[in-house]
Chains A and B, each alone.
Chain A
Amino acid sequence: MFEPLHYQFFIKALFTSIIIAITSSFISPFLISKRWSLLGDAISHAVLPGIAIAYILKIPFFIGAVFSAILTAIFVGFIESKTKIKGDTALGIGLSGAFALGVAIMSLIRSKDIDLYHILFGNVLAIRNSDIILVSLIAVIVIFSIVLFFKEFVLWTFNQTLFKLYGFPDSLFRYFMIILVSISVVSAVVAVGIIISSSTFNYSISYGYLILKISDIIKFGILISSISVILGLYSSYYLNVASGPAIVVILTLFFILVMIISPKEGIIIKILRNYKRRKMIEWQDKLKLLYELSENGLKVSDIKNVEISKFIKLGIVEIEEDKIKFTEKGKVLVMNIIKAHELWEAYLRSHNVAEKLEHYTDEEIINVLNEIIRGR
């Protein structure tokens, strides 16, 4: 397990990837909540022309990448605000336009110094020291900004109208967010390449809807994506698969796992809930049946289908001289169901629907139904 850690390139890759995972975890909950998840995708493709032009002008790739990323983001925002084209289409236009421009310029230069394959798919195992400094610097800027303006970013993402009404600078925060997204995407591109960086963003944000609060999504995102990065790099080392794709495959597996076991919306919990609901309905129906039977003075020995012992144990019925008698507690329980049924039937004039709804009627609903029917 510690063998890869003897190699400096592996430690560098591990460090850089974890930093990127943390950075994108801070940004992505806002992107998905704002329905901007495609923005990360678009921006990652938009860095290509910047990198190509930076090469021609002999300036650092990073500057070109950030520059063209922000320019594309602004262009997309401009299409969205000035035409009737919707956000996702506008992003699509920006994405394909910028990417095509980038590939076109690249094909013009035909240089041996920049490798299109590496830009597209990344090579985190060949990361340079200057890249590490860059990635760390971006992480500090992004995390610092989000933590400092957390309240503002949450309000802006949740309710832009209120943000404006309360006097906060709306356009300023729009560009602030675009710049934060752009620089963090650029830092991801350095490590895992264009194709993979866009998916990194999309995956880590997909956990969002399974959790309660944005701050928890950030924490959870950091945990899951860091683990994915570590597992991805290890499997890359031992199984000899490309590092970027390995990370994303593991992220996807985690997503599927979360989808299944999530305590709130997971598949398992839903199956359990359904089972419990069916049991409850069955139990309530038995209760009603038993009540009817006891009202008709039937004897215990006549009843075959209902297990009375359970109801006796729960203190719902008693047996007197071989006759079933409902206790006070039992009466309250059964009367609530009968009452709900009567109200629904009076309201909707349908016995069959009332038969179903009676199982889901709590006190609040009974009160409301009472109100409505009395008001008629």
Chain B
Amino acid sequence: MKSLKIANLTVYYELNPVLIDINLEFEEGKIYGIIGPNGAGKSTLFKSILGLIKAESGEIKFFNNKLFKEVREKIAYVPQKEIVDWDFPITVFEVVLMGRYVHLGLLKRPSKQDKEIAINALKKLNIYHLRNRQISELSGGQQQRVLIARAICQNADIYLLDEPFANVDVLTERNLFEIFYELKSNNKTIIIIDHDLARVKNYDELILLNRTIIAIGKPNEVLTNENLFELYSEKLVGI
């Protein structure tokens, strides 16, 4: 079943088009990889999906024609870890528990059950032993695990992950893929922004994005020389 449909999405940043006429459909139970050069609009695509950026035109619908604000608890976002304030005085457990807040709304405090869900997410990411640490004491790989644990804790159906493999070690990378495969087998939709062509074989579908969609399909089918040239050549910049 389709979990996310993007139709004719165009986004401007000031006077420059960042995304031009994007049409994409995502299905349940699949892992999608989005690759493209810097400034290709990958993060902008996520922000548009999440309603953080106003689109010039286009339509973004979830599940059965629902808007983001109708299904926000079903959509988990893992931002690039660089934009999180890792000096903030807060423990690993508290950050992961925040994943439950979307279900709580104003004023309600996390229940015992919410805390159990957070503990399970911590265990799944192998960071349970770090639960009482301040987040400033974590390594890059551990920070990434914390952010993904928070998304898992939200118990969403669609996961948007912006560069989850940036600066993480080999073991973390493997651990994360195991988790993504498990989510996939539970019929979730996983969409990952990546920059490393060596990893793309792990994705069910690969989207080559450079302001427009250059190609979409099975990794080995779309990674042709022509497509890669188009993806990384600068000829589109002048639009």
Contact = CB atoms under 8 A, between A and B. Distances in A.
Contact of A159 (B75, B84, B169): B84
A159 B95 CA distance: 10
Contacts of A154: 90, 94
Interface of A: 29, 33, 148-149, 151-152, 154-155, 157-159, 161-162, 164-168, 208-209, 211-214, 216-217, 364, 367-368, 371-372, 375
Contact of B106 (A29, A168, A214): A168
Interface string B149-174: 00000000000000000000111000
19 contacts: A33-B85, A33-B89, A148-B107, A151-B110, A152-B107, A157-B88, A158-B88, A161-B52, A162-B98, A165-B72, A165-B75, A165-B77, A166-B72, A166-B101, A166-B102, A211-B89, A371-B170, A371-B171, A372-B170
Contact of B94 (A211, A213, A371): A213
Contacts of A29: 89
B109 interface: yes
Contacts of B90: 154, 158, 213-214
Nearest to A208: B89
A145 to B, nearest CB: 12
A164 B52 contact: yes
Contacts of B84: 159
A209 B86 CA distance: 11
B61 to A, nearest CB: 17
B98 A368 contact: no
Interface string B127-144: 000000010000000000
Contacts of B91: 212-213
Chain A binding surface, main DSSP class: helix
Residue in A166, A168, A216, A371 whose Cβ sees the most chain B Cβ within 10 Å: A166
B75 to A, nearest CB: 8
B235 interface: no
A214 B89 contact: yes
A284 B107 CA distance: 54
B143 to A, nearest CB: 13
Nearest to B133: A212
A367 B171 contact: yes
B52 A149 contact: no
A375 B50 CA distance: 38
Interface in B70-112: 72, 75, 77, 79, 83-85, 87-91, 94-95, 98, 101-102, 104-107, 109-110
A205 to B, nearest CB: 11
B109 A217 contact: no
Contacts of A209: 87, 89
A167 B169 CA distance: 34
A175 to B, nearest CB: 16
Give 7 nearest A-B pairs by CB, closest first: A166-B102, A371-B170, A368-B169, A212-B134, A158-B88, A167-B72, A166-B101
A211 B136 CA distance: 11
Given A166-B101, A212-B91, A158 B85 contact: yes
B112 to A, nearest CB: 16
Given A29-B89, A212-B134, A161 B79 contact: yes
Given A151-B109, A158-B85, A158-B95, 14 more contacts: A148-B107, A149-B107, A151-B104, A152-B107, A154-B90, A158-B98, A165-B72, A166-B101, A212-B91, A213-B94, A214-B89, A217-B89, A368-B170, A368-B171
A375 B89 CA distance: 38
Contacts of A208: 89
A208 to B, nearest CB: 6
B89 A213 contact: yes
Contacts of A148: 107
Given A165-B50, A209-B87, A214-B90, A375 B134 contact: no
Contacts of A375: 170
A240 B139 CA distance: 52
Nearest to B69: A167
Interface in B16-74: 50, 52, 69, 72
A140 B193 CA distance: 47
A372 B104 CA distance: 43
Nearest to B95: A158
A202 B50 CA distance: 36
A32 to B, nearest CB: 9
Nearest to B85: A158
Contacts of B98: 155, 158-159, 162
Contacts of A168: 101, 106
Nearest to B169: A368
A217 B87 CA distance: 14
A158 B87 CA distance: 10
Nearest to A214: B89
Contacts of B79: 161
Nearest to B75: A165
A151 B98 CA distance: 9
A162 B101 CA distance: 10
